[in-house]
Amino acid sequence: MPDLWDLLDSVMDPEIPVISLYELGVLQDISRNGETVELVLTPTYIGCPALGIMEEDARAALTAGGYDQVTVETRLAPAWTTAWLTPEARRKMSAYGVASPEAGSIACPQCGSTDSKIISEFGSTACKALFRCVACHEPFDVFKAL
């Protein structure tokens, strides 16, 4: 049987498919209880429609790896925060075109300039805002600091 963490490292965020659920901080814990695999997920945003898809994707990956019995617990506390994103995850997101606020400054994923303006508090998903780079004029998504 493949290692549980190896299996779940391949389950990516449905909206930002370059970072895994673990890197995102949604996948909090995996444990075995006899034949059953127990997953603990925490939602990024309460109303995030992707959480259901994340759960399905994680189940599918485990089933494909031979683990049939999976239970999923949704844990609210401690509340998810962007502070859980690792520097590696932030780098991957930036390369994918989504900036993440770090220490208060936002770097344009295209040109790296930190001179940007907000277009909208809400971008293509609940977890993102829309910015425009003043230097290169390109619009880009920013993972909202939460």
Partner 1 sequence: MKLKDPLTRYVVQLGDDALIMGHRLSEWMSRAPFLEEDIALSNVALDFVGRARLFYQYGAELMGGEVTENTFAYQRDVRDFTNLLLCELPRGDFAFTLSRQFLYDAFSLPFTQALCKSTDSRLAAIAAKAEKESRYHLRRSRDWMLRLGDGTAESHERCQNALEQLWIYTDEMFERDALLDGLIASGIAVDPASLRLTWLETVTETLHAATLTLPEPQGGVTGGREGIHTDDLGFLLAEMQFMQRAYPGLQW
The enclosing H or E element of 91 equals helix 87-96
Piece in contact with partner 1 (CB under 8 A), picked from 25-33, 60-68, 95-103, 124-132: 124-132
Other beta carbons less than 10 A from residue 31's beta carbon: 10
Report if residue 78 touches partner 1, rule: CB under 8 A. Answer: yes
Q: Which one, of 49, 39, 44, 50, lies nearest residue 8 by Cα?
A: 39
Write out the two tokens for 25: 């901080």
Residue among 110, 126, 132, 138 that touches partner 1 (CB under 8 A): 126
Piece in contact with partner 1 (CB under 8 A), picked from 14-22, 42-50, 57-65, 107-115: 42-50
Secondary structure of residue 14 in the 3-state scheme = coil
Residue among 77, 83, 87, 117 that touches partner 1 (CB under 8 A): 77
For residues 76 and 121, what is the distance between their CA atoms, to the nearest angstrom?
24
Piece in contact with partner 1 (CB under 8 A), picked from 17-25, 30-38, 64-72, 116-124: 116-124
- How many residues in the shown chain lie near partner 1 by CB under 8 A? 23
